[in-house]
Amino acid sequence: MSERSAIILLSGGLDSSTVLAEATRAGRRCHALSFRYGQRHEHEIKAASAIARHFEVREHTVLDIDLAAFGGSALTDEISVPKDALEDEGIPVTYVPARNTIFLSFALAYAEVREAREIWLGVNAIDYSGYPDCRPEYIAAFEAMANLATRDGVEGRGVSILTPLSRLDKTGIVNRAFELGVPLEHTHSCYDPVESGASCGRCDACLLRARGFDGANRTDPAP
Amino acid sequence: MSERSAIILLSGGLDSSTVLAEATRAGRRCHALSFRYGQRHEHEIKAASAIARHFEVREHTVLDIDLAAFGGSALTDEISVPKDALEDEGIPVTYVPARNTIFLSFALAYAEVREAREIWLGVNAIDYSGYPDCRPEYIAAFEAMANLATRDGVEGRGVSILTPLSRLDKTGIVNRAFELGVPLEHTHSCYDPVESGASCGRCDACLLRARGFDGANRTDPAP
């Protein structure tokens, strides 16, 4: 019964929402997993909840984790988020040490407890130009480690990590999101939203998102 | 300056306390990392704090993580801890899905932020007869993944995972703990302590610890 269950890492952004749409389309029983991790804002969690409801996931779990305890990133401490300039080279200041490793580790525990054999994740070609823990070789290494880590892995019921966006750029993702009927008005990508929850329009995430909608000749319905 | 810094995963039990003693003896600047993870008891954290103070660690960080959100183990939910019978084969009911993967992932983030190149961990020959995430092949796979996951790894400052107890049984660990002057009266191994914090004497952890002290012809000074 559980062979078609999947864990979906869901931030409520464009990418992970599109991944949830892919997993739903593929007929998976979806268990969405989101994190509160010392972010400055609750808007991500609200977006994730709205998206999870839209796709009628089996379960949506929100975990609190304290990445801020260590500091070290613009997303979790008081370094300011860079504005109006896409960093095209190197690792961005918004890099959070070991973030995907921590997220995937919790997803692995969740998968084992729910007898899911798949973890779906929204990494893509844009991310892995900058974030080491989005690259295909990293994902492969995590999967290899995961299948040595758990009772399920040892007993031959290993887990696969699926990254359906891995070859897409932002325009490709926007196009795919429209094809799959993702309610983009509920998605939230901004690193540094204003108090109402509206996007700043100037951080890396906003600029990349705008570039994606431009490329697809679409209007972004999010506030 | 930071080349000799190390992260030590410290539960406050016999094994991890001995590992902290090893790292201290080896001249490392030790950053101890402990977790509150839906355990039934705070005694582990008290023990870890006492041990960390004894060895004058540079820093002791305690993180709250909510493994109980998923359920699935005697240590984190309401399954009862087995008593009076060491499980000699298979994976124990006290197995927590992906626990060491989650712990090591946080240690990896901590290492990067503190510019530490080492993570020390108390897995040993007894553990990996039962727990998949204590085996040497698992540790090697985690290290390989870790060095693809982080900015430090990508930039050539990879992290090593050290398991100085890996070839020891409990008697070997008790002997080493005495050699290194571990204050064993402060360590805490029991899965299911009575309210005062004293050990139950009957769970797997207590039975293994007793076997170790017997083998070493030593008296356990812990309550």
C-alpha dihedral (A145, A151, A157, A159), degrees to nearest 10:
-40
Cβ-proximal residues to A161 (8 Å cutoff; 6+ apart), any chain:
A104, A118, A119, A120, A121, A139, A142, A143, A146
Closest approach of chain A CAs to the CA of B198, in angstroms? 30
Whether residue B96 is predicted with pLDDT greater than 60 in this model: the reply is yes
Q: Over 90: is that where the pLDDT of B80 sits?
A: no
> Is the CATH code 3.40.50.620 the one for domain B2-215?
yes
Adjacent-strand bridge partners of B7: B31, B119
**Is B67 in contact with A109 (Cβ distance < 8 A)?**
yes
pLDDT tens track for A83-126: 666 655 666 666 678 889 999 999 999 998 899 999 999 998 77
Distances in Å between the alpha carbon of A78 and those of A73, A94, A192, B133?
8, 11, 12, 35
Using CA coordinates, name the residue in chain B closest to A71.
B113
B132 touches chain A (CB under 8 A): yes
Q: Which of A2, A9, A63 is nearest to A29 (CA)?
A: A2
Of B105, B112, B135, the CB nearest to A148: B135
Average pLDDT over residues B112-123: 93
Q: Note the pTM of the prediction, 2 decimals.
A: 0.90
Partner-chain contact B97 A91, CB within 8 Å: no
User: Is the CB of residue B18 less than 8 Å from the CB of residue B168?
Assistant: no
ipTM here: 0.89
Rg (CA), chain B: 17
Tell me, letter by letter, the H, E, C secondary structure of A75-104: CCCCCCCCECCCCCCCCCCCCCCCHHHHHH
Q: What is the DSSP letter of A132?
A: G
By Cβ distance, the residue of A63, A112, A132 closest to B98 is: A112
DSSP state of B120: E
Indicate the residue of A65, A70, A149 with minimum beta-carbon distance to B101: A149
Annotated domain spans of chain A = 2-215
The residues of chain A scoring below 50 in pLDDT are 1-3
| Element at A24 (helix H, strand E) | helix A14-25
Work out the pLDDT band at B30, boundaries 50, 70, 90.
very high
Which of B89, B106, B128 would best serve as a mutation to test chain A binding (most A beta carbons within 10 A)? B106
- In chain A, which residue's Cα lies nearest the Cα of B71? A113
Residues B126-165 pLDDT 10s: 776 678 888 999 999 999 999 999 888 888 888 999 999 9
Question: Which chain B residue is nearest to residue A149, measuring alpha carbons?
Answer: B133
User: Helix (H, G, I), strand (E, B), or coil: what is residue A7?
Assistant: strand
Cβ–Cβ < 8 Å for B212, B124? no
- For A24, phi then psi, to 5°, come to -65, -45
Of B61, B101, B150, the CB nearest to A97: B150
